[in-house]
């Protein structure tokens, strides 16, 4: 595994081999490592980028405290990745970023309501990473489903030539989706947090087995979260394909964000037409 700080050196190291990029902000956990292992099956060279992107954090968010432990991250990637790309702020943003990507209305819904500039920051840095590293494929986790859909649209509509692969969410034994932000939870909050996934699963099963209106199911789910000590940010049932209006007998995604103390958790469950949950 080579650690590289410049885009030019990444491209030289890849040469004319096929490559797959796993973009991360570091603070690696088993979920990231699963993405990297999957990436290994897709191309000749596996590149993992580690960059805490200032553009996707609002001033009141956790940019300063986001877990940064590059040496430990690199150790974990030693036998899994070929290249770990750790650009500096100057490499990513040599000029103040005055050019941005205009996103579809999906970017202002769900996570975009409480984080209005988040998806613009994400798609900008991902577009830069694609242009810098020029991978054939990029792997994203299904936990950030809205992000993955918007990145996919950006990649297709701007003709980056990068195919987006989604990898299933990796969970702790009690169902909590792995996330670098889980580190912020106190012991008591860590006990409360799995209620988010339980509620999503329960709602997805209800959606499949009875005719209750989605709005009623979401209202019940929000009460369940509240009873479990979480504060719902949003809880929605949408079409899995594009997070538009849900259509019966097609795949539907139940997606939610909830506050557990000061930590905002997000997760989702898709129910397929045959009732399988993914
Ligand atoms: O999902 C993340 O970790 C980040 O949003 C990403 C895609 C690496 C962009 O900074």
pLDDT in tens, 224-243: 999 999 999 999 999 999 99
What's the rounded Cα separation, in Å, for the pair 271 and 247?
A: 12
The pTM of this model reads: 0.98
Relative to the CA of 53, which ligand 1 atom is closest?
A: 10
| Most informative mutation of 22, 24, 50 for ligand 1 (most atoms within 8 A of CB) | 24
Q: Which residues of the chain have pLDDT under 70?
A: none
| CA 23–ligand 1 middle distance (angstroms) | 6
With the most atoms of ligand 1 within 8 angstroms of its CB, the residue from 142, 144, 166 to mutate is 144
> How far does the centroid of ligand 1 lie from the alpha carbon of residue 227, in Å?
31
Check 29, 32, 202, 208 and give the catalytic one. 32
Residue 127 dihedral angles phi and psi, to the nearest 5° = -60, -40
The residue whose CA is least distant from atom 3 of ligand 1 is 24
Sheet-wide strand order for 163-167: 2-4, 83-85, 45-50, 19-24, 137-141, 163-167
CA distance 104 to 101: 10
- What pLDDT does 211 receive? 82
Question: Pocket residues for ligand 1 (CB within 6 Å)?
Answer: 23-25, 53, 56, 122, 125-126, 144, 147
Centroid of ligand 1 to alpha carbon of 25 (angstroms): 6
Check if the beta carbon of residue 83 is closer than 8 Å to that of residue 15: no
Instruction: Please indicate whether residue 38 is annotated as part of the active site.
Output: no
Q: Whose CA is nearest to atom 1 of ligand 1?
A: 24
Residue nearest atom 8 in ligand 1 by C-alpha distance: 24
| Residue 72 alpha carbon to ligand 1 centre in Å | 19
Closest Cα to atom 9, ligand 1: which residue? 122
Task: Check residue 41 and give its pLDDT.
Answer: 98
What angle do helix axes 7-14 and 118-133 make, rounded to 10 degrees?
50
């Amino acid at each position: 595994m080579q650690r590289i700080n410049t885009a030019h050196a990444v491209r030289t190291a890849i040469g004319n081999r096929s490559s797959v990029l796993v973009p991360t902000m570091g603070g690696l956990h088993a979920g990231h490592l699963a993405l990297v292992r999957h990436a290994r099956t897709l191309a000749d060279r596996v590149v993992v980028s580690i960059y805490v992107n200032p553009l996707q954090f609002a001033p009141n968010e956790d940019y300063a405290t986001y877990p940064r432990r590059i040496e430990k991250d690199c150790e974990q990637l030693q036998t899994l990745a070929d290249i770990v790309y750790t650009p500096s702020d100057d490499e990513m943003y040599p000029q103040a970023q005055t050019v941005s990507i205009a996103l579809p209305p999906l970017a202002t819904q769900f996570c975009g309501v409480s984080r209005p500039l988040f998806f613009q920051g994400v798609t900008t840095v991902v577009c830069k990473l694609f242009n810098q590293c020029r991978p054939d494929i990029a792997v994203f986790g299904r936990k950030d489903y809205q992000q993955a859909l918007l990145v996919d649209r950006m990649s297709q509509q701007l003709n980056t030539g990068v195919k987006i692969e989604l990898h299933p969410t990796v969970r702790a034994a009690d169902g909590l989706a792995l996330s670098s932000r889980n580190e912020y939870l106190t012991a008591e909050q860590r006990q409360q947090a799995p209620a988010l996934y339980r509620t999503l699963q329960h709602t997805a099963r209800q959606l499949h087995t009875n005719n209750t209106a989605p709005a009623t199911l979401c209202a019940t789910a929000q009460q369940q979260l509240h009873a479990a000590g979480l504060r719902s940010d949003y809880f929605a049932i949408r079409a899995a394909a594009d997070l538009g209006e849900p259509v019966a007998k097609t795949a539907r995604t139940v997606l939610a964000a909830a506050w557990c103390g000061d930590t905002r958790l997000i997760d989702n469950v898709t129910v397929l037409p045959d009732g399988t949950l993914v």
